Amino acid sequence: MQTANGNYDATRYERPSVTVDVVIFTLISQQLHVLLVQRRHWPFEGLWAIPGGFINMDESLEDAARRELEEETGVRDVYLEQLYTFGAVGRDPRTRVISVAYIALVRDDQQQLRVSDESTDVQWFPVRTLPDALAFDHDQVLAYALGRLRSKLEYTTLAFQLLPEVFSILELKHIYEQILDEKLDKGNFYRKIKEADLLEETPLMREGRGRPTRLWRFRQDRATDKQFVFRWREDRIDK
């Protein structure tokens, strides 16, 4: 018992294993992708899985998530947020495993992928074309993560974690469209994002085929203190 009695004995109870799993999202050429590792060993040998691993006794859950992420995939410097804890009996055939799942958002850029000796491969998958079967209950974990991501976009500045340092407003709109999976009106998007006063104009422009576009920077200061509600639909709610 956490409310234990005086003669508490830490070894009295059999203990489950605790892991952290990290669902990592990024944008690659404007498409939302998720990072998976291919398992080298039993169980689920050869299947793709969400990266993760056992926690150490002297690190917090979030530290464990960062460490595992780097060890298994080489990805660093991510935005991390706890998602949910999965603890069904039998979700891991080896032993009882409680898994604390995290969402990570990274800027595409040049994350240097690395394969650990636990895996045969590490790869970004577009969320629209995921492998058919995933190891463990990772299909559920992934679905849950996607749902949460979509829902949080509408009322947080999470999407900015996926963008490079400077970006155009229409690029930002494109991300929202990707993740929400619906078309947004250009004019309304401009209005809404300007009103929110979350962006800072830079002197930079980017040239393309038509009219050059202004580049903006995300105002870090507003990010945390001011909540950003970006709600075009009221019916997409994270259960």
Give the one entry of a second copy, DNA, none that residue 76 binds, where binding means its C-beta sits below a cut-off of 5 to 8 angstroms depending on kind: none
Whether residue 36 contacts residue 48, with contact meaning beta carbons closer than 8 Å, is answered with yes
As measured in angstroms, the least distance from the Cβ of 125 to a second copy is: 16
| CA nearest to 151, candidates 93, 68, 213, 237 | 237
Position among 24, 26, 39, 69 found at the interface with a second copy (CB under 8 A): 39
Q: Which stretch binds a second copy (CB under 8 A): 116-124, 175-183, 194-202, 207-215?
A: 116-124
Position among 84, 124, 125, 232 found at the interface with a second copy (CB under 8 A): 84
Give the one entry of DNA, a second copy, none that residue 88 binds, where binding means its C-beta sits below a cut-off of 5 to 8 angstroms depending on kind: a second copy
Question: How far apart, in whole angstroms, are the C-alpha atoms of residue 22 and residue 64?
Answer: 10
CA dihedral over 177, 213, 164, 198, signed as positive or negative: negative
Residue 216, judged by CB atoms within 10 A of its CB (0-12, 13-18, 19+), counts as: buried
Question: How far apart, in whole angstroms, are the C-alpha atoms of residue 81 and residue 238?
Answer: 15
Q: Is 51 in the site for a second copy (CB under 8 A)?
A: yes
Pairing mode, if any, of strands 17-28 and 52-54? antiparallel
Query: What does the block give as tokens for 48?
Result: 């793709």
E-assigned strand segments in 187-228: 199-206, 213-218
Four-CA torsion 162, 166, 172, 175, nearest 10 degrees: -30
Give the one entry of DNA, a second copy, none that residue 51 binds, where binding means its C-beta sits below a cut-off of 5 to 8 angstroms depending on kind: a second copy
As measured in angstroms, the least distance from the Cβ of 173 to DNA is: 9
Task: Specify the residue, 9 or 207, whose C-beta has the smaller distance to a second copy.
Answer: 9
Q: Which stretch binds DNA (CB under 7 A): 16-24, 42-50, 81-89, 184-192?
A: 184-192
As measured in angstroms, the least distance from the Cβ of 44 to a second copy is: 9
Q: Is 203 in the site for DNA (CB under 7 A)?
A: no
Whether residue 215 contacts residue 168, with contact meaning beta carbons closer than 8 Å, is answered with yes
Give the one entry of DNA, a second copy, none that residue 60 binds, where binding means its C-beta sits below a cut-off of 5 to 8 angstroms depending on kind: a second copy
Question: How far apart, in whole angstroms, are the C-alpha atoms of residue 128 and residue 126?
Answer: 5
| CA nearest to 160, candidates 105, 238, 231, 215 | 105
Q: Is 190 in the site for DNA (CB under 7 A)?
A: yes
Q: Which stretch binds DNA (CB under 7 A): 10-18, 52-60, 128-136, 167-175?
A: 167-175
Which residues make up the interface to DNA (CB under 7 A)?
A: 168-170, 185-188, 190-192, 194, 207-214, 229, 231-233
Which residues make up the interface to a second copy (CB under 8 A)?
A: 1-6, 8, 10, 13-19, 21, 37, 39-42, 49, 51-55, 57-61, 72, 82, 84-85, 87-89, 92, 94-100, 116-119, 135-136, 155-156, 227, 229, 231, 234-235, 237
